[in-house]
Amino acid sequence: MQPLCDKTHEEALRGGNGISVNQEDLYDAVIIGGGPAGLAAGLYLARARYRTLILEKGDFGGQITITAEVVNYPGVANTDGRQLTETMRQQAQRFGAEFMSAEATGLDVDGDVKTVHTTRGDIKTFGILIATGATPRKLGFAGEEEYAGRGVAYCATCDGEFFSGREVLVVGGGFAAAEESVFLTKYASKVTLLVREPDFTCDAAVAADAKANPGIEIRYNTELLGVSAGKGGLVEARIKDNKTGQESTWTAADGGSFGVFVFAGYVPQTSLVRGVVELDQRDYIVTHGNLETSVPGVYAAGDLREKNLRQVITATADGAVAAVEMERYASEMSEKTGLLPPRPNDSPYEKEEAAAARSASEEGTSPAPAASGKVSEGKASGFFNDAIRQQLAVVFGKMGQPLTLELTLDSTDLSKELEGFIGELVALSSGKLDSRVAERSDASYDPAADMPLARPYVEICRRSATGDPVHSGLGFHGVPSGHEFNSFVLALYNVAGPGQSLDADTQARIEAISAPIDVMLLVSLTCTMCPTTVLSSQRIASDNPKVRAQAYDVARFPELKDQYGVMSVPCIVVNNGGEQIVEFGKKSVPEMLDLIGA
C-alpha cells in the first residue's frame, strides 16, 4: 500500500500517533456494549463491509432481555426481549460482525488509531462506539440491600412467580413501573403502585393500562422509606405522603408477607469514559448531531446518553446513526494513515450472495427476489423444532469428545419428561452423546445438604478410556428447557471441548482453584438472567474438577426455595471449605470467580 498524505510508510504503520499497528489486527470500529444500540451499529457497519468488533462483558442483548413481552417494536407483532435481541445478534453476525466476551478496562483515544484495553488484551481501532447502556437504579430505602433477593426485586419477568397469590408493592412512575405493574397482576393478588410524583412520567397510553387495571391500586405523591421482614419475608413497609409529609405503615391486607419491585429508572454505565469524554452532571455522555462525543472518533449510543425516550427503538436508531457516521470516520482515517483493516468478505451473507451469483451465471438467469409473507418458524417435532435441530447440529459438530448423560430418576412424570428430553437430544447428536440411568443407593433428598440430590437429575459425564462415565460435577435438577436450554447445551460443549474461549488471566484463575467448591444455582426456567450465571459457573467447573456447579429448577423443588428464603433468581449458594455464601443476580465468569474467592 502506498503511503498517503505526506506520511512515510513507517509512520502509517504506527498509526500516526506513535502506536505500533499490525494492519491485520486493526478494526474500523470497536463497539463496547452488546445491547440493541451496539447490535444495530454492528449490523450497519458490517453490512457496509467495515471490520467491526462488538465487545460485551456480560450477556449479549442488554437490559431488554429481561422483558417478557415486546409489542411496540415496528414490524414485530409480539416477541420477548431475548428473542428480539438474539435476532439482531444473528443479523450482525451474518454480515460479518465479530463478537468478543470481555470487559473493556480502559481507552487510549489520542491520535488516529485508538486502543481499547480489555480483560483479553488490547484492541486497535479507528473508531469506538460506547454503548454500555444503564443498570437499574437503587433507591436506598431502609432494607433495600439487606432484603435484595429475599423480597426486594428488580425484574418482574424473573421473580414475579415467587409472589403468586401475594400482594406486591411497585415503586416507580415511568415506563417500566407502569408496564411491569400490569405484568405482575398475572401473579400477585394485588399490586400497589407507589408514584412519587402527582402522575406518571411516561407516555399517557402506557400509564392508561395501569390506571385501568382493577388489580392495581395507585398511590401518587408517595415514596417508600423502608421495609422490614418477619417469618416468611417482608411484612411491613414505611411510606411517606410527599404532599403532607405524613409517614405511615403499610402491610398486606391478609397480614402475610409481600414483595417489593423497584422500577426507578437507570444509572448510565459510563465509568469507563469518565475523564475521557464529556459527561453531564448526571454522568450521561454528552453527544452532538451524529452522536459524536467530545473526542473525535468516539461515539455514544443508547441509554447512556441524555434523551427523552429510552426504548429499544430509540437505542437501535442511535446505533444506526452512529454507525453511518463511524463509516465516514473510518474511511477518512484509512485514507489518512494508509492503513486498511481486513474486510469481512467471508461472512455468511457474502457466501450466500456469491453462491446466488454463481447459480445465476451458470443458468443465465437473475436471482429471484425473496418471497414475501410470514417466515416459517420451523415444524415442531418432539421437544425440538427444526431451527433448534439445526443449531444443535452445529454444536455437536464442534464437540471434541463424546459425552454420557447420566440420569437419576424417580417415578414422577417429571422424570419421564427428562428421560424423553434427553433421549431425543441423544438421538440428534450423531453419536456425540449417549445416556444411562444411574443406579443409586443414596435415595434421600436433604434440602439442607451442600449439593442435594433432587430428582430427576441429569449429570454431564466425560468418558474414560474404557467408555465408563466420569462425573464432571455439572448437571441440572429438573428438565433443562426454557431459558436454561441454551446454558445446558453450552455446558455440553464446554465439557466436551474445546469450549468457549477465555482470556489467559481468567483461565489461570480457574486453574489455580485447589480446594473443593460446590456451587448450587437456584433458577427459574422463565428467568432471562439465570442462564448467564449458570453458564459462568459451569464454565469454571468444566475446566477444574475441584468445582461442582449444578442448577435446580426452584419451581420443581420448593423445599430449596424455603431453605434459602429465595424470592429472586438466580440465587447462588457457594459452599467453600465449610463456609457458605448466598448471593443473587447475574454473574459473568470473572464475577463468579470473585464470589468463590478464586
Collapse the DSSP code of 470 into the 3-class scheme (helix H, G, I; strand E, B; otherwise coil) and give the result: strand
| Residue matched to cell numbers 433458577 | 523
> Any residues with CB less than 8 A from the CB of 162 and at least 6 apart, and which?
153, 259, 561, 566, 567, 568, 569
> Any residues with CB less than 8 A from the CB of 490 and at least 6 apart, and which?
395, 500, 535
Are 537 and 519 in contact, with CB atoms under 8 Å apart? yes
> Any residues with CB less than 8 A from the CB of 236 and at least 6 apart, and which?
227, 228, 230, 249, 250, 251
Helical (H) or strand (E) element with 417? helix 413-427
Distances (CA, A) of 468 to 457, 464, 476, 488, 573: 19, 5, 20, 22, 30
- Candidates 106, 99, 125; CA nearest to 33 is 99
Question: What dihedral angle (degrees, nearest 10) is formed by the CA atoms of 440, 484, 504, 508?
Answer: -30
Q: What are phi and psi of 338, to 5 degrees?
A: 80, 10
What CA–CA distance (Å, rounded) separates 297 from 525?
A: 42
- What angle, rounded to 10 degrees, do the helices at 504-511 and 530-543 form? 70
The letter for the amino acid at 350 is: E
- Candidates 569, 566, 574; CA nearest to 592 is 574
> Any residues with CB less than 8 A from the CB of 233 and at least 6 apart, and which?
150, 151, 257, 258, 259, 565, 567
Burial class (CB in 10 A: 0-12, 13-18, 19+), 5: exposed
Active-site residue list: 155, 158-159
What CA–CA distance (Å, rounded) separates 511 from 502?
A: 12
What CA–CA distance (Å, rounded) separates 2 from 359?
A: 37
What CA–CA distance (Å, rounded) separates 479 from 409?
A: 11
SS percent in the chain: helix, strand, coil, step 5: 30, 25, 40
